[in-house]
Amino acid sequence: MAVKLHRCNGMWVKIDAHPCWRVQKALDESGVEYVVVKHPGFPRSKRTEYVKLTGTHLLPAIELEDGTVVRRESRELADMIRSGQLQQAASPPASGEPSSTA
């Protein structure tokens, strides 16, 4: 099963300044298998299912195969993907450390 990329429905926007594209591009470049889950661009109030999942209206987020949701700023998510740290986000934190997912 692939990870899920939760992103806006503006799939045609393919510029590095666009947060959703930045993360999708990193997944593509890293060869990570994923499926796209599109959410309304505007109004953000229509992202009710996404808010239930992540606790925020902000996109993008990645849902790992175990159901863990990783939501960070897009540059940080892209860096995690390129460095191979994305799957480590699903690992339980070392004793005494807070969880890194949000």
Q: Please report, for the domain that includes residue 52, its CATH number.
A: 3.40.30.10
- Answer whether residue 101 is part of any domain: no
Q: Compute the chain's Rg from CA coordinates.
A: 13
Amino acid at 84: G
CA distance 3 to 19: 18
Domain tally, the chain? 1
User: What is the CA angle 36-40-43, rounded to 5?
Assistant: 160
- Answer whether residue 19 is part of any domain: yes
Q: Which domain holds residue 40?
A: 3-90
- Answer whether residue 80 is part of any domain: yes
- Answer whether residue 96 is part of any domain: no
- State the pLDDT at residue 92: 53
Please name the helix (run of DSSP H) or strand (run of DSSP E) that holds residue 68, with its range, or none: none
- State the pLDDT at residue 41: 83
Average pLDDT, the chain: 88
- Whether the pLDDT of residue 27 is over 70: the answer is yes
- Answer whether residue 14 is part of any domain: yes
Which of 89, 51, 95, 84 has its CA nearest to residue 72?
Answer: 89
Mean pLDDT in residue range 79-96: 74
